[in-house]
Each structure stands twice: as structure tokens, then as C-alpha cells.
Chains A and B, each alone.
Chain A
Amino acid sequence: MRKAISKQSKNTVLLEKEKLDILQESKKQIKDIVQTIREPLMVLDPQLRITFANQSFYKVFKVNKKETIGKKIYNLGNKQWNISGLKGLLGKILPANKFFNNYEVKHKFPAIGEKIMLLNARRLDGVQMILLAIEDITARKKTEEALRISNEYNKSVIETIREPFLVVLDKEYKVVFANKAFYRIFKTNPKDTENHLIYDLGNKQWDIPKLHELFEKILTKGLVFKDFMIEHSFPKLGHKIMLMSARKIKEYPDMPNKILLSISDVTEINLAKRRLAKAYQDLMSLDNLKSQFLIMTSHELKTPITPIMIQAQMLLEGSIGKLTSEQKKSAEIILRNMTRLNELIEDIFDISKIQSNQLKLDGEREDIDRCISEAVESMKPAASKKNIRFNIKMPNLPKLMFDKNRISQVLTNLIGNAIKFTPKNRNVTIETLKQKNDILIKIKDEGVGIEQKYIKKLFEPFFQIQPSYAMKEEGTGLGLSISKGIIERHGGKIWAESKKGKGSTFFFTLPLKRSRGK
């Protein structure tokens, strides 16, 4: 019996020994595993004394084996590990549960500073061990915090921008975030906006076909769109013209794409532009109307002038009866002033035609030399009054296509001016020159010259260097601008060159070949 017992007890002892060996082996294996793990890890006994810690633990928490093994965890490093969070976990959760996962514990260690740790524990009852893994997530947390701050920063930038209005959408076009300006302009709030489909905003006011089109474009093709004009009548907000730009953005590297939509309200500026365009058109048609009015008026005015001038001329001729010298003087005054009135009307008529682009030319192939000679001839009486001689240099020129009456008008105007500004007993020089594509005509006076600042203005309607001068002499101040209109209508150019004190020269060209229709 005893033998049997003894045998049995021997067996039991053997068994116990075997068991112990296996246990020791298991513990060793666990230690080996723990050692190879890169995260700080320790093995505690049920009394929470450290039986083993891996290299990583010593490294991260800057402690050595001697200070660690056999110590109760709370007493580690001069009770640095006396962490209330840890006490709760090990003292309450672990006795009740086999494990706990991912508990974040933040603790300021006097020696190594603040650490944020992620704690994981396993109660291994078979080997009477507690495995405690302490992941140092301080760096990761810092990065996350930096990202959060940067994100916050971006948001506040977006937030404070007055315009454009920014909306961040997720890939399903739901609003993640919109800035204050957006809420203000579109009279809405975050509650009715965030997490809502953009098309559904404001009772589907935003269900704009063109917006669908744009999003589909960028999302399917991965494109960016910029300054796309969308015009939409919002039931509540009224008609809006918006410039939209959108691009895909990422908040974090591994996050799905979002869409940053920027909306500029260009309603006012566009309406202003349209009003301006309309006003311009109105002005143009008004200007045209003015020209039409002047053209019509000048026709109407010539009707009463016609019989007055016939009568005055007949009186002067004596064909109605012989006049006394006083009567003759009276008729002369009537005729002279009617002639001047007629010229003024002609000028107004011409400038109206030119300005409304209606000046018609009556062209034939003509001799320009003869046209110049005739103009000079007609101006001789005026020149001889001041004893001004004409100095004419004309080579033989080919015939060209031009409106003889109109070119005579230009020549008379330019020669008339030259006489007007040339002092007594001096010369007016007229020269022609055949150039490659045109004929150049120069009319030079020996007057006081024109200041450079006036040179270009000379050809503007109603421009007079000395306004009062025009009142004494004949002229409306339209002569040069009419001449310009006539020459340009012929396809030529007109300009002046002058040096103060050295006289002025007026130039114009007439193309050798005039295009048809002009």
C-alpha cells in the first residue's frame, strides 16, 4: 500500500517536476519572445513585481536591470511609476478581466519627461504572469497634435477669409465645412449645411445642373476647374452670378480626397459690367442719333439758306434793280454771312457723317496735280492779300482714284490754314512725292509753329489752339478733323510736324491703289 502510495507519490513528484520544467520552459520561451519584441514590454508576477523586462523597456525608460527586477512596478525609479492610471488598470481591470487593450496613459516622468503611453496587458494565468506592453506614442501623439494644429490653422485661415466663400466637401459632395462668409452670403448656418449634400442645401436651392456637371468633370477626370461662371436664380437669395473654382485636396496622407470649392460672388460686378456695356451701347446709339439728327438738321437748314442766298446774289448783281452803295453793302453783309453759315452747316454735316462712319466718297481716277493746282488757284486771292507766294514742287504723278471734291476740300483747308498762319510777304510751299505705295503731299507754312503738345490734338474735332482766334477768322475748328476723316476714308494718313518758330508742315498720303468699296 505504502509502496503503492510511494510509487504514486513518486509519480506525482515526477509529474510535478515535469510540470515545473515545462513551466520553466514556457516562462523562458515567453521571456525570449518578449526580448525580441521592439516595443517596451515587461513581465510581472501576480504581486505586480517585475520578473523580466526587455531591452526596449530599459532603453526607452532609461533604467537598468538591477533597479527593475523584483521591484513592484509602482516603486520603479524612485516611485516614478506610481501612476494613478496604471494603478487603476492593474489593480481593478486586470483582476476582473484577462486583458486590457490600448489604454492611453499620460505621465510626466521626472527623469525622462512627459510620455504618452499606450498600455496593453495580458493575464497569463497558466504561468502566473502578467504581460504588460508599454507603447511609447509620445512622438506619434506630437505629430498628430501638430497635424491637428495645422489643420486648425488652415481652417481658421479659411474661416476668416471674406471672399471667396469656401466649402469643403467629401467625396460624396457632402459639406464637411464652410467658412463664415459662405454662411453669411447664403444666409445659412453650419447645422443646416454640414453633413448635407451640397445639392440639397437650402431646400435644394443648390441643385444647379451646371454644378453637377462640374463635379462630375473634376471627379471623373481628376481635373481642377477654375473661375467657372455659374449663373443661378436662388429662390430666396435671388439671382447670383458666381465664379467657382474647385480642386481635390487631402487633409492627411492616407485620407480620402476632399473637394475644396471656392465661390466668388461676382453678381454685383457682373451686373455693373452689363450695365456699363448697355450704357455704352445706349451712348453709341445716342451718338448715332445725334449724328443722324445733325445730318437731317443740316439738310433742313440749307433749305431756307437757298432762297436767301439767291436773293442776296441777285440783289448784288443788280439784276433786280440798281442798288445804292449802302444797299449793296447791306446785300454783301447778308451774302457773306449766309455763305459762312452755309460753311458751318457743311462742316457739321461732314463731321457728323465722319463720326457716324457714313461718309461716302465719290471716286474716279483723277489727276492729283490738277486737283492741287486748282486748289492753289482758288486760294490765290486770299494769299495775295498778304502778299504770300506759293512755292510748288510737283513731279509728274500717276492718276489715282480719289474723290476730287473731298480732296479739294482737304487741300483748301490745309492751304487756307497755311496762309492764315504765315506772316505777310512769306511763302507757302506745296510739294508732292511719289512713294512706293502712295503719293505724299506736303503743305508747309512759315508761321510761328505749333507746340508739340498740341500736334496730336490738332485733328480732334473743335480743337483750336487759340479759341478766340477762330471767332475772328472763319472756321469751326472742324476743318482738320474733317480732313482727317476724308483722308482716312481714302485709306491715307494725315499728320503734322512743327517746330516752334520754324513753321509747320502738314502731310497727307493717298494710296496709289485704293481698295474697292471705300
Chain B
Amino acid sequence: MKKKVLIVDDEEDILTSVAMLINNMGYEAKTANNGKKALEMLKKQKFDLVLLDILMPGISGREVLENIREYPKLKNQKAAFLTVVKLSEYGRDIMKKKLKPVDYFQKPINVSDFRRRIKKILG
């Protein structure tokens, strides 16, 4: 069984490109172009990892992760951010507390570095 990754981003081309990368690595990529849709999908099916953009219209990536952590079934859902915002700008506290993301990717990504870290997360 292929491991499944949900990619959440409001930019279609980013969704497509990251999905290509994930699929190319031998995983199964699914996409959601907003936070609301992502939450619905996460509640319906199991994902091994969710990649969240932060700045999105409607529900932000951070809010999606907050929702995930409040939902008992998804308490241990692996999640990582994939955003243009520098971690130092956003504040390191997003990596701590209850949110517990497993990684923080900054756009634009270096493909080989991205692959290495994704593999580390998914095993």
C-alpha cells in the first residue's frame, strides 16, 4: 500500500507540481485547494502526511492544523508546513506547543532536499 500525502495549497500549479514530486517518489498524492476541503478529506480518509500552506484565503494552514489537533481521531496526524513565509518571520512557536508539525518547508523548495526530508518523515 502506497503512503498517502495530502497537499493543501490555494495555488493550483503548486498543488500539481508538489503532487508530481510526491507521486514521483512512489507515494500517493491527493490535493485540496483550501483549508475547509482539507479538513473534510482528513476526516474521511487516513493520510500519512499533510503538507500545509499557511497563507490561504479562508482557513489558514495554521488553523487547519489547530482543527486537526482538536479532533481526537486526528490527534497524531503527521503534518508539515510548506509556505513562502520564513520560519524566523513566522515565529518558532508554530513548531512547538500543541501543533507539533514534523517539518517546515520554505518555498521555493530545493527538490532533492525536499525528497530527503519527506523520505525521513514517511520512512
B-side contacts of A360, CB under 8 Å: 88-89, 91
B-side contacts of A362, CB under 8 Å: 87-88, 92
A303, chain B: closest CB distance, angstroms: 6
1/0 per residue, CB under 8 A from A, across B107-123: the answer is 11111100000000000
Name which of B15-23, B29-37, B59-67, B69-77 contacts chain A. B15-23
B10, chain A: closest CB distance, angstroms: 9
Tell me the bound Cα distance from A306 to B110 in angstroms: 10
1/0 per residue, CB under 8 A from B, across A368-407: the answer is 0000000000000000000000000000000000010110
Answer whether A314 and B21 are a contact pair too, CB < 8 Å, given A302-B107, A307-B14: yes
B90, chain A: closest CB distance, angstroms: 9
Answer whether A310 and B88 are a contact pair too, CB < 8 Å, given A303-B11, A303-B14, A319-B24: no
A363, chain B: closest CB distance, angstroms: 9
Tell me the bound Cα distance from A299 to B108 in angstroms: 11
Interface size class of B (residues with CB under 8 A): 20 to 34
Set B20, B85, B92: member contacting A314, Cβ < 8 A = B20
B109, chain A: closest CB distance, angstroms: 7
Cβ–Cβ contact A303 & B107, under 8 A: yes
Tell me the bound Cα distance from A307 to B20 in angstroms: 11
**A335 to chain B: closest residue by CB:** B111
Q: Does B55 contact A (CB under 8 A)?
A: yes
Q: Does A317 contact B (CB under 8 A)?
A: yes
1/0 per residue, CB under 8 A from A, across B78-100: the answer is 00000011011101100000000
Q: Does A313 contact B (CB under 8 A)?
A: yes
Q: Does A205 contact B (CB under 8 A)?
A: no
**Residue in A307, A314, A342, A362 with the greatest tally of chain B CB atoms within 10 Å:** A307
Number of A-B contacts (CB under 8 A): 64
A517, chain B: closest CB distance, angstroms: 13
Within residues 281 to 331 of chain A, which ones have a CB less than 8 A from any CB in chain B? Answer: 299, 302-311, 313-314, 317, 319-320
Cβ–Cβ contact B84 & A302, under 8 A: yes
Answer whether A342 and B108 are a contact pair too, CB < 8 Å, given A303-B11, A307-B11: yes
Cβ–Cβ contact B88 & A406, under 8 A: yes
Cβ–Cβ contact A306 & B109, under 8 A: yes
Q: Does B40 contact A (CB under 8 A)?
A: no
Tell me the bound Cα distance from A83 to B112 in angstroms: 128
Interface of A is mostly: helix
**B84 to chain A: closest residue by CB:** A302
A-side contacts of B11, CB under 8 Å: 303, 306-307
Cβ–Cβ contact A313 & B110, under 8 A: yes
Tell me the bound Cα distance from A304 to B20 in angstroms: 16
B-side contacts of A307, CB under 8 Å: 11, 13-14, 16-17
**B85 to chain A: closest residue by CB:** A299
A313, chain B: closest CB distance, angstroms: 4
Q: Does A137 contact B (CB under 8 A)?
A: no
Cβ–Cβ contact A405 & B84, under 8 A: no
Set B18, B55, B84, B87: member contacting A310, Cβ < 8 A = B18
A-side contacts of B87, CB under 8 Å: 362
A-side contacts of B21, CB under 8 Å: 310, 314
Q: Does A229 contact B (CB under 8 A)?
A: no
Cβ–Cβ contact A403 & B108, under 8 A: no
**A338 to chain B: closest residue by CB:** B108
**A358 to chain B: closest residue by CB:** B89
**B91 to chain A: closest residue by CB:** A360
A-B contact pairs, 21 of them (CB 8 A): A302-B107, A303-B14, A304-B13, A305-B108, A306-B17, A306-B107, A306-B108, A307-B11, A307-B13, A307-B16, A307-B17, A310-B20, A310-B111, A319-B24, A320-B24, A342-B108, A353-B89, A360-B88, A362-B87, A362-B88, A405-B88
* Chain B interface (Cβ < 8 Å from any Cβ of A): 11, 13-14, 16-18, 20-21, 24, 55, 84-85, 87-89, 91-92, 107-112
Q: A299-B84, A338-B108 are in contact. List 5 more A-B contacts (CB 8 A).
A: A303-B84, A306-B84, A310-B108, A319-B24, A353-B89
List the 3 shortest-distance A-B pairs measured between CB atoms, nearest first.
A362-B88, A313-B111, A307-B13
